[in-house]
């Protein structure tokens, strides 16, 4: 597989409108884009889906309501591709990543997490972003049958012991405070990548 070996892989998951993009953008902002890339598993999916259906890719990628009209069909479309090859979108999303810290913003299924845990067992850390339904509603979420009760939203609700849980709520400790240990881990991973020759073993977490 043609990927350069990352030093740290932070695999994020969370319900719709929990703030996965917001939190992962903040991490990249703190670490810098030379050190940290954001990988969206839904990126290559939305790109191919937009091409096939003549849709606006930028709107599909953004946080607004446009993508919600297509979500159920995009899920079905993606699942037909994942059926034979569960790592299909994971491989596409990671193929050009070259920074030492990878932030995967949208793991949804056990197979997504398994992909990173098996490709990068020593570097992978799982992170759950959680918000109350009330807060998610304020951010534009409403329950949609076939989406919020399907694997796309519930696949990681149980059976995973997350390494980190971030509560993205106004009355929780600030995100900077909660992210402190993760940012420290990332900084250590980057320091170790600078002080070791390229073929040395990666940081053992």
Ligand X SMILES: C[C@@](O)(CCOP(=O)(O)O)CC(=O)O
Binding site for ligand X (CB under 6 A): 16, 42, 45, 67, 71, 74-75, 78, 106, 108, 152
Q: Where are the beta strands (DSSP E) in 51-181?
A: 101-104, 124-130, 164-167
Contacts 24+ apart (CB under 8 A), 48-54: 49/74, 49/77, 49/78
Q: If binding is defined by CB under 6 A, does position 139 make contact with ligand ATP?
A: yes
Residue 123 binds which entry of ligand ATP, ligand X, none, CB below 5-8 Å type-dependent: none
Please check if 19 is assigned to a binding site: yes
36 bridge partner residues:
101
Residue 107 binds which entry of ligand ATP, ligand X, none, CB below 5-8 Å type-dependent: none
- How many binding residues for ligand ATP (CB under 6 A)? 11
Find where tokens 């884009």 sit: 33
Residue number, 68 or 188, with CB nearest to ligand ATP: 68
Cα–Cα distance, 103 to 12 (Å, whole number): 7
Please check if 15 is assigned to a binding site: yes
Please check if 178 is assigned to a binding site: yes
Please check if 16 is assigned to a binding site: yes
Order across the sheet with 36-39: list the strands: 36-39, 101-104, 8-14, 124-130, 164-167
Question: Which positions from 17 through 56 interact with ligand ATP, judged by CB under 6 A?
Answer: 17-22
Least Å distance between CB 187 and ligand ATP?
A: 22
Least Å distance between CB 160 and ligand X?
A: 17
Say what the alpha-carbon torsion angle 78, 109, 20, 99 is, to the nearest 10 degrees.
Answer: -80
Angle, CA 160 vertex, CA 178 and CA 94 arms, to 5°? 75
Please check if 17 is assigned to a binding site: yes
Least Å distance between CB 145 and ligand ATP?
A: 16
Give me the residues that bind ligand ATP (CB under 6 A), please. Answer: 14, 16-22, 63, 139, 168
Binding-site entries: 15-21, 139, 168, 178
Binding-site entries for substrate: 168
């Amino acid at each position: 597989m043609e990927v350069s070996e990352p030093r740290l892989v932070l695999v994020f998951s969370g319900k719709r409108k929990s703030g996965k993009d917001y939190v992962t953008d903040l991490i990249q902002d703190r670490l810098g884009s030379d050190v940290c890339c954001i990988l969206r598993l839904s990126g290559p999916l939305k790109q191919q889906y937009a091409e096939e259906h003549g849709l606006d890719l930028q709107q599909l990628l953004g946080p607004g309501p446009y993508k919600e009209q297509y979500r159920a069909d995009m899920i079905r479309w993606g699942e037909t591709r994942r059926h034979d090859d569960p790592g299909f979108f994971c491989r596409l999303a990671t193929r050009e990543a070259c920074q030492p810290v990878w932030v995967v913003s949208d793991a949804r299924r056990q197979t997504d997490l398994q992909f990173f845990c098996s490709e990068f067992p020593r570097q992978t850390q799982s992170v759950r972003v959680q918000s109350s339904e009330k807060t998610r509603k304020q951010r534009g979420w409403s329950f949609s049958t076939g989406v919020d009760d399907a694997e796309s939203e519930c696949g990681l609700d149980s059976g995973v012991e997350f390494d980190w849980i971030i509560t993205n709520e106004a009355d929780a400790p600030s995100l900077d405070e909660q992210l402190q240990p993760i940012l420290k881990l990332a900084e250590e991973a980057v320091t170790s990548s600078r002080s070791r020759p390229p073929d040395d073993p990666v940081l053992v977490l």
